Amino acid sequence: MADPQQDFRVAREDLERFMGEALAAAGADPASAAAATRALVTASRMGTDSHGLRLLPHYLQALKGGRIKGAPNMHFHQRLAATGFLDADDGLGHLAGYTAMEHAVKMADEVGLGAVAVGNSSHFGAAGCYALAAAERGYLGMAFCNSDPFVLLHDGAKPFHGTNPIAFAAPVEGESPYLLDMATSSVPWNRVQQYGAIGRELPDQVAADAAGQVSRNPCDVAALLPLGGSDFGFKGAGLGGMVEILSSTLSGMLHGFKLLPMGGPDMSTPRGVGHFFLVMKPDAFVEEGTFARGLADYLADLRAQPAAEGAEVLAPGDREWRCQAKRDAEGIPLDSANQLAYAEIATQYRITPLSQLD
């Protein structure tokens, strides 16, 4: 391809076409390719660049290496009226996530709540995608996932938890959902790498060196601190632990500390990632319509709050929906590294390259 461009944007449909073809070429069956494409494009439209199109090369590598099965035989075991286990058969975590959410929504529709523990899965991208899938159907959704260790325990000297995310979404009548999708560390690991690449100092209290001492120098950083930093990291670490218990202990999977690293070098051994999904029916507690009215009131009050000087008060998700509207109109940007990676994929899998928007 030509040299990377400063302002390279692509249409959502073209990105979906490209991802679908690439995933299929790497061995993903139609359902798997569609689920991964849906999750990656959802994240990229919302501006969650760390968990969007950037990850396609990784999933292709894992499919080619055999770590992830392109044509899994996922099986759902209903256990009780509100609970079940999805054996993801080492397939793509995105298919596992959307499938589990379908089952959870069905249970919540019948008995008010539904939860699915997922085992034998793999990286599922952004947790928010699955919470959102419930909210888009009119339900409250929560999603949790463990991952390999990057984050210190509070007062710990060695990474133990993953960035173990918590996602929560709620349907808002006539609007995009309320959407919280957060790692239980302050920053993701790739922030350290990005800052290191441009020689920028990290914020205070987000990372530590190999001895567990707080460091702002990306070159010295060996681990992330849990949300809350040195003083209050017991909260972030406790939340990370809750995510770990929900996603790996309830599903019978290895906890994050024992997981093979997502980044390899082993791309052939399944990792056995666990997820946990919870769905609630909003009108399963009080009179129908009360929840919708209450949430609208709450959000109106929230958005009317005065902001600190030079700042703006937003509800969780507002920034994401604003970004999505912009990217739907103007295209989804690819930085130079992603332009190169996607050009390589086009060559390797003989796929029509992405078209740059004007």
Site residues (CB under 8 A) for a copy of itself, limited to 100-159 = 110-117, 119, 140, 153-158
User: What is the closest distance, in whole angstroms, from the C-beta atom of residue 95 to a copy of itself in the complex?
Assistant: 19
Contact in structure between 268 and 65 (CB atoms under 8 Å): yes
CA distance 146 to 274: 6
Stretch that binds a copy of itself, among 4-12, 37-45, 68-76, 240-248 (CB under 8 A): 240-248
User: What is the closest distance, in whole angstroms, from the C-beta atom of residue 40 to a copy of itself in the complex?
Assistant: 23
At CB < 8 A and 24+ separation, what contacts does 202-211 make? Answer: 204/229, 205/229, 205/230, 205/231, 208/152, 211/157
- Select 110 or 328, whichever has its Cβ closest to a copy of itself: 110
Examine residue 288 and tell whether it contacts a copy of itself (CB under 8 A): no
Contact in structure between 318 and 35 (CB atoms under 8 Å): no
For 280, the enclosing helix (H) or strand (E) is: strand 273-280
Please choose, from the candidates 24, 21, 18, 35, the residue with its C-alpha nearest in 3D space to the C-alpha of residue 64: 24
The residues in 195-214 that bind a copy of itself, with binding defined as CB under 8 A, are 203, 205-206, 211-213
Among positions 7, 30, 217, 252, the unique one binding a copy of itself when judged by CB under 8 A: 252
Among positions 50, 99, 186, 339, the unique one binding a copy of itself when judged by CB under 8 A: 186
Site string for a copy of itself, 41-80 (x = CB under 8 A): --------------------------------------xx
User: What is the closest distance, in whole angstroms, from the C-beta atom of residue 171 to a copy of itself in the complex?
Assistant: 11
Q: How far is CA 337 from each of CA 56, 194, 195, 310, rounded to the nearest angstrom? A: 12, 12, 15, 33
Among positions 174, 309, 350, 358, the unique one binding a copy of itself when judged by CB under 8 A: 309
- Select 200 or 347, whichever has its Cβ closest to a copy of itself: 200
At residue 164, what are phi and psi to the nearest 5 degrees? 0, 95
CA distance 291 to 277: 21
Stretch that binds a copy of itself, among 5-13, 20-28, 305-313, 322-330 (CB under 8 A): 305-313
Among positions 10, 68, 82, 133, the unique one binding a copy of itself when judged by CB under 8 A: 82
Question: Any idea what the Cα angle at residue 54 is, between residues 326 and 220, rounded to 5°?
Answer: 115
Examine residue 312 and tell whether it contacts a copy of itself (CB under 8 A): yes
